Amino acid sequence: MNPDLRELLEQWVPIVRLENDASLAAVAEGATGAAVGLENFVVLLAGDRLGAGVVIDGHLLRGAHGGVGEMKAFDFVFGVESATGIGLKLTDWVVQAAESGQIPPGHPLTEVPADRLDGRAVLDLAREGDAWSRGLVERAGALLARVTAVFVSLYDPERVIVSGAVADGLAEVLEVARTRLPTELDLPTPDLRQSLLGASAVATGAVSAALEAARSDVLRLGVDELGWRRAAG
């Protein structure tokens, strides 16, 4: 997060709250989504890049530089090796399979131009019973289980929620991850759940965060301070 952005904004407005997209998704899930009523949960964004919003004992964790939930460390985790999201991983795998001739002859994906191959097509075919596509879903589920296990080992949440635009297509991937997750953990297995907020999760979190900031901060700001800020503008 930009360390100078808060100071810049505070010159013009009395209340500033900065969060990354995964943290906003966590705010949304806690306010209106799959984490309502929970105090310990992790929200994973898993589309193009992995990112996580972490809430422990009812508090959204940020760290000294807003870096809690950043995924660079997964470059060094066996079986993950990058912060690439599940959706983009599936796309990469199917493109690589097409380029190397690993897609079976006559398979529906052999008729799709390379620039139109994506993970969504794989998920759709697996859902229809295609065995080859199911193999990639199993691979994605194993990866999601490993990512989830790392966060569970670090934070011991009661629920992990896969959120963002890609979440609505990952039901089969989550099923695989749920079966694999117990073998990845020493702690009790958390509830691994698919978000129902879809692509609006981050925007919903932004609105919820703004309302929360207004409730907690506006009332404590004196009339003089608010008037000074207006005059400065």
pLDDT per position in the chain (233 positions), as tens? 555 555 554 545 555 556 678 888 999 999 899 999 999 999 999 888 898 999 999 999 988 877 888 888 899 999 899 999 999 999 999 999 999 999 999 999 999 988 889 999 999 999 999 999 999 999 999 999 999 999 999 999 999 999 988 888 899 999 999 999 999 999 999 999 999 898 878 778 777 767 776 666 665 555 444 444 444 44
Domain ranges within the chain, ordered by starting residue: 5-232
User: If we measure between CA atoms, which residue out of 38, 73, 62 comes closest to residue 146?
Assistant: 73
Q: Distance between CA atoms of 121 and 126, rounded to whole angstroms?
A: 9
- Map 49-63 to HEC letters: ECEEEEEECCEECCC
Inter-residue contact 18 to 66 (CB < 8 Å): yes
Q: Distance between CA atoms of 193 and 124, rounded to whole angstroms?
A: 20
Task: Tell the burial category of 127 from Cβ atoms under 10 Å away from its Cβ (0-12, 13-18, 19+).
Answer: middle
Q: What is the pLDDT of residue 218?
A: 60
First to last CA, the chain: 25
* The token pair that represents 8 in the structure block: 């810049």
Q: What is the pLDDT of residue 229?
A: 47
CB within 8 A of 139, min separation 6: which ones?
93
Look at domain 5-232 and name its CATH class: alpha beta
